Amino acid sequence: MRWCLRVKLAQNWREFGRLLLATEDRPVVEQSRKDVFWGAKIAEDGSLVGMNVLGRLLMELREQLKGDGSENLRAVEPLAIPEFLLLQQPIGTICATDSASRPAEAEARPLRPVAAPPPRELPQPSLFDKPMIARGQLDIQQNNRPGEAQSKTDLPTYPEYKSARVHWLGEIPSHWQEKRGKYIFREIDERSVTGEEELLSVSHTTGVTPRSQKNVTMFKAESYVGHKVARPNDVVINTMWAWMSALGVSKNVGIVSPAYGVYRPFNQQDFLPEYVDYLLRTPLLKWEYICRSTGIRSSRLRLYPDKFLGIAFPSPPLGEQGRMVAFLRAKEVQVRRLIRNKRRLIGLLNEQKQAIINQAVTRGLNPNAPMKPTGIEWMLEIPAHWEAKRLKYLTKFLNGIAFKPSDWKDTGVPIIRIENLNGGENFNYTERTDLPERMLIQPGDLVFAWSGNRGTSFGSFEWTRDFPAYLNQHIFKLDGYDLHRKYFFYLLRAVTKHVEDNAHGIIGLVHITKPALGAIFVPVATPQEQAAIADKIDEEAAELNQAIGKIVSEIRLISEYRERLIADVVTGKLDVRHIEIPAPADEPALDEEEALEEGLETDDAAVMEGADANE
C-alpha cells in the first residue's frame, strides 16, 4: 500500500500533493462502515475506533512531502517482486511529469511538535507527532476529577533533536543512535527435548508470562516436545498476532509455540530487557508491525523474522534506559492503583445493581404478597402465585457456529465472539451463504456465553448493537421463549452467580454444559408482572448504569494515558533523566478481577476448541 500511494502521488503530483498538504498537521482517518484495519468505524460515543492503517500511511507520505527530500518522491521504483507485471508487461520506474510543479505550500520546513490531542481521542497520532502526551499532564493523583491527569512537575523535552532515519520515530535526541533489529537480535530456534519446561503465554496485554500465572490451564496439548525454548531476556513474538502487539521479553525459561518467533540479544550490555519490553509494545511500533506483516487480510497477518529484524529501533545510552524504566515503573504503580480503585467502585455499584435485580425477580414488586417455600437453595421462597420452573422448559439453547479460521474474512457479516459481548470492536466477518438463518442474531436477541470469565464474559447478554451478526461457538442463543424479553434477561442475570457456582472449571475461566444449565430452577412471574418488574429494574438501575459507564470511560482514558506516556518516554519525546523519581513502592499484587481482565487470550483461545456444550 505504501508503494501504491507513492505511485498515486507521482501520477497526480500537483493535485494529490495539494490535498495532502492541505491537511496540515491534522490526523488523517479513513472512515469506514466495516473495515477497522485500513480505516476506523464510528463508535456509539462518536469516536472513531480502528487501526487506521491507510490514514497513517497517508500521514507518513504527507510528512515526506513536507521535507527537504520531497523531490525524491517524483520517481517510484518497481517493487522487488518476481513477475511484477501490468497487462503482461514489466512495471518500470514511475515518474511525475517534468512539467508537474511542486504542490502548493510544499516548501521544505522542519518538523515541529504538535500539541497532544484531547484525551478522548484514540492513541493514533501521526507517525511524526511529538510528544503524544502534553507536558503538564503527567502526574495522576487519586483525588483528581474523573478522567483527568494533573501535574505537579512539567516534564521537559531533550535540548537537541535530530531527524531519525526511519519515519516511525520522527525525531530522536541528538545523542541517541538507531540500530536495525538484525544488529541487536538474532533468531533462536532451540527446541524442547522433554516438553517439561514452563509453558509461557504471549499476550497483547501482559506480554510474556508463565501460563501457570493465568487462569487457563484446561485442554492442554498431550505433549510439548519440539516446542521452542525461550530464556530470560529473549524477545518472544506471537507471529500471527504481532499486529496486536502480542509480544514481549521473557523473564523465565520456558517453552512457546513452534510458530512463535524467539530472538536473543547479541550483547546484553546494549539494552536493558525492561526498556526493550516497554519499547516493543508502544503504539508506534505496533503500526510498524502491521505495515511489515504479510497476509491477505488483517486477521491473518504474519510478522516474519526478516521483517522484524529489519525494523530500526532507538538506542539510548544504557544509563538513560535505567532512568526511563525506573520512572515508568513508578508511574505504573500509580496508574495500577488508580485503576484498581475504580474497578472496585464498579464492583460495588454492580453489587448494588444485582441486589435490585435479585429482589425484583425473586420477590416481585408487592412487599405484602404472600410467599411460598421452594426448597431451592438460591431462592428459598417466591410469591405464592408464581411458579418455579427449570430453564430447559422456558427456552431452547442453540449453540453458536464452529467457524474455522478459513471462514474469517475482512468483509461480510460480522461474527459475534465473547469479546464482542463486552464491547470489543474487533470483529471477524464471514461471507458464507450456507449458514442457518436462526443463528443470525438480531438487535435485542438474548444470548448466554457458556464459556468465559467469571463475572465478566460468562452468563447472559443482550445483543444491543444496531446490526445483525452470526453467533460463534461457546455462546448459546436463547430461542423459543414466551417470557417478557427484558424480564428474562434480568432473570438470567439474577441466577448468574448460582450458575457460576455450579459450573465446572477452574477459578476464573468457567463453562457450563447445556444439560446443567437447563436443569436450573428459576422463579417465573405472571405475564402481567414481568413487564412491570423489567421497567422497575430499568428505572432503579439507570443511575447506577450511568455511573458505571462513566467510570469505564475513565479507566479507558487512564489506560490511554499510560500507553502514551510509555511511548513518549522510550522514544525520547520526553526527558526524564533529571526527574526526581519517588521511592519505589510495593506494587499491589493482581486481584482476581485484574488477573481475569484479559479474557480468552489469542494463544489460549485455541485450546478451548475441544470444549463441548453438550457434555
Which tens digits make up the pLDDT trace of 328-361?
Answer: 999 999 999 999 999 999 989 988 998 999 999 9
Mean pLDDT on 426-445: 92
User: What's the mean pLDDT when you consider all of the chain?
Assistant: 81
What is the separation of C-alpha 144 from the centre of its chain, rounded to a whole number of angstroms? 26
Q: How far is CA 316 from CA 154, 179, 267, in A?
A: 22, 10, 15
Q: Which of 112, 136, 167 is the last residue of a domain?
A: 112
Q: Which of 316, 340, 356 is the last residue of a domain?
A: 316
C-alpha cell recorded at residue 344: 472496585
Q: Which of 260, 284, 316 is the last residue of a domain?
A: 316
- Confirm if 561 and 310 have CB atoms less than 8 A apart: no
Band of pLDDT at residue 584, cut at 50, 70 and 90: low
Same domain, 503 and 411: yes
Does a structural domain hold residue 353? no
Is 200 or 599 the better-scoring residue by pLDDT?
200
Residue 325's pLDDT is 95
Strand partners, 172: 162
Same domain, 98 and 185: no
- Cβ contacts of 472 within 8 Å, gap of 6 or more: 400, 401, 403, 415, 416, 417, 418
3-class DSSP string for 258-294: CCCEEEEECCCCCCCHHHHHHHHCCHHHHHHHHHHCE
Is 48 or 55 the better-scoring residue by pLDDT?
55
Does a structural domain hold residue 163? yes
Band of pLDDT at residue 291, cut at 50, 70 and 90: confident
Q: How many domains does the chain have?
A: 3
Same domain, 66 and 178: no
Mean pLDDT on 9-36: 84
Does a structural domain hold residue 587? no
Band of pLDDT at residue 15, cut at 50, 70 and 90: confident
Residue 524's pLDDT is 96
Residue 605's pLDDT is 36
Least confidently predicted of 169-178, 455-464, 527-536, 541-550? 455-464
Residue 249's pLDDT is 96
- For 73-117, what is each residue's pLDDT tens digit? 888 888 877 777 777 778 878 887 655 555 655 444 433 333 333
Same domain, 86 and 164: no
Same domain, 71 and 178: no
Does a structural domain hold residue 136? no
Q: Would you give the DSSP letter of residue 403?
A: -
User: For position 480, which CATH number holds?
Assistant: 3.90.220.20
Judged against a pLDDT cut of 90, whether residue 166 lies above it is answered with no
Band of pLDDT at residue 407, cut at 50, 70 and 90: confident
Same domain, 163 and 307: yes
C-alpha cell recorded at residue 496: 448468574
Long-range contacts of 462-468 (CB under 8 A, 24+ apart): 462/486, 462/489, 463/416, 463/421, 467/414, 467/443, 468/413, 468/440, 468/441, 468/442, 468/443
Q: Decide: pTM greater than 0.85.
A: no
Mean pLDDT on 547-554: 92
Task: Give the separation between CA 34 and CA 443, rounded to whole angstroms.
Answer: 17
Task: Give the separation between CA 606 and CA 602, rounded to whole angstroms.
Answer: 7
Judged against a pLDDT cut of 90, whether residue 158 lies above it is answered with yes
- Confirm if 470 and 414 have CB atoms less than 8 A apart: yes
Q: Which domain holds residue 81?
A: 1-112
